[in-house]
Structure formats: C-alpha cells, structure tokens
Chain A
Amino acid sequence: ETGVTQTPRHLVMGMTNKKSLKCEQHLGHNAMYWYKQSAKKPLELMFVYSLEERVENNSVPSRFSPECPNSSHLFLHLHTLQPEDSALYLCASSQERTGSEQFFGPGTRLTVL
C-alpha cells in the first residue's frame, strides 16, 4: 500500500453520464496530481494541486473538472466524455510541488462507451 487510495477501481460510463473519481492520500502530503495513462504512451499529467490550489492544467478538455476540497482529497468530475477518454486515471501525491518522490494510487480504469 502506498498510502494513496482511489475509488472506484473500475468505471464504465456512457458519453452522456456524469461521474466522479475520488482520491485520498494518508501521507500528509500537500501536493496532489491527476495523470492519464493510455496504452503505449507516457503518463500524461492532467492537473496539479498544491495546498489545495490548482497550479497546473495541462490543456485538459473542460469535460474533466478537478476539485481539491482539502489537502487529503482530490476529485475528478467527468461529464460528456468521449470513447478516446478511456484510460487508467492515476492519482499521486508528494510532499511538495517539486514533483519528486510522487506516490501513486492504484488508478481507476475508465471505459467510455
């Protein structure tokens, strides 16, 4: 266990659905990240939160909406997704926003029909 949990582990949704992914870290870190992992591609950083403020948004479509209510929780709200959004979504946390020594959760396997 890395101290980072994600729910749900698997999610199947239609293009018109609205769903949310949840991440929780028990490490006392103050930076949290969302990554997208697709086959044969490097991990793609989507969002970075530091001290509950969004500090980076890597040109992610607006159908992905992050929320960080406190330093231990991170959400990714999904709506009107496309089939190409199907991927493994990983949450990570680190002590500082330097990005080093990131600890990853197990991911949510998302399938968009």
Chain B
Amino acid sequence: GENVEQHPSTLSVQEGDSAVIKCTYSDSASNYFPWYKQELGKGPQLIIDIRSNVGEKKDQRIAVTLNKTAKHFSLHITETQPEDSAVYFCASILTGGGNKLTFGTGTQLKVEL
C-alpha cells in the first residue's frame, strides 16, 4: 500500500518568513495530493491540492509543488502570519478506484512574533 512520509514534524519560523513542508510517497500511481491544515480544536481543513498532471499550484501565500519522478511534493507558505500556526498534513491517493487517502504524520508549524 501507499506510504507517505512527512518532514519536519515541527517547524518554527519568524513572522514574515517562509515555511516549507515536504512529503514523499511510495506509490507512483498516486495522482492526487491534498494538504490539510488543522487548528486546535478543529478537524483538518483542505487548503490546497495538486493533481499529477500539474507541477505547481499557487493560491495567494500558499503553493504546492510536485515532483513525480522523485515522488515528493512540498507545501510552501510565504510571508507567514501567526494565524498560520497549526498542524499541516499532506496526503496522497490514486483517485477513481476504491482507494483511500494516505496521510503523513503532520507538521506542527509555529509562527513566532
């Protein structure tokens, strides 16, 4: 089955700096890669996703890149703000079949003033 590894487990940055979270996956057939943000006391919220036919996607301060050859994808947050502090999860799946999302172990991001 699919295996997703996520690094780092914790990340502390100064407000205004950039943050990068990296994930690798094992199943080369996976074709959909969402990122979730989980704030304290809430469930994970989808913040951005990318499909395997695209190498990069951007939405304001967040962007995701995908390297299919190396089987890794990354989340980039620029100009970080205190409200970006949360746990971020990556995931992967082969869509269209009876497959399931496989999640990484999460990254605790702390944006310090």
Q: Which residues of A contact B (CB under 8 A)?
A: 2, 4, 6, 40-43, 45, 48, 55-56, 90, 92, 97-107
Contacts and interface: CB of A to CB of B under 8 A. Distances in A.
B98 A106 contact: no
A107 B45 CA distance: 12
B34 A43 contact: no
Contacts, number: 59
Contacts of A4: 43
A103 B46 contact: yes
B43 A100 contact: no
A105 B95 contact: no
> Which of A2, A6, A100 has the most chain B CB atoms inside 10 A of its CB?
A100
Majority secondary structure of chain B interface residues (helix, strand, loop or mixed): loop
A42 B32 contact: no
A102 B104 contact: no
Interface residues of B, number: 25
Given A100-B34, A107-B43, A43 B100 contact: no
B93 A55 contact: no
A90 B43 CA distance: 7
Give 8 nearest A-B pairs by CB, closest first: A104-B43, A98-B95, A42-B103, A43-B103, A100-B95, A104-B44, A99-B101, A106-B43
A100 B32 contact: yes
Nearest to A90: B43
Contacts of B44: 43, 90, 104
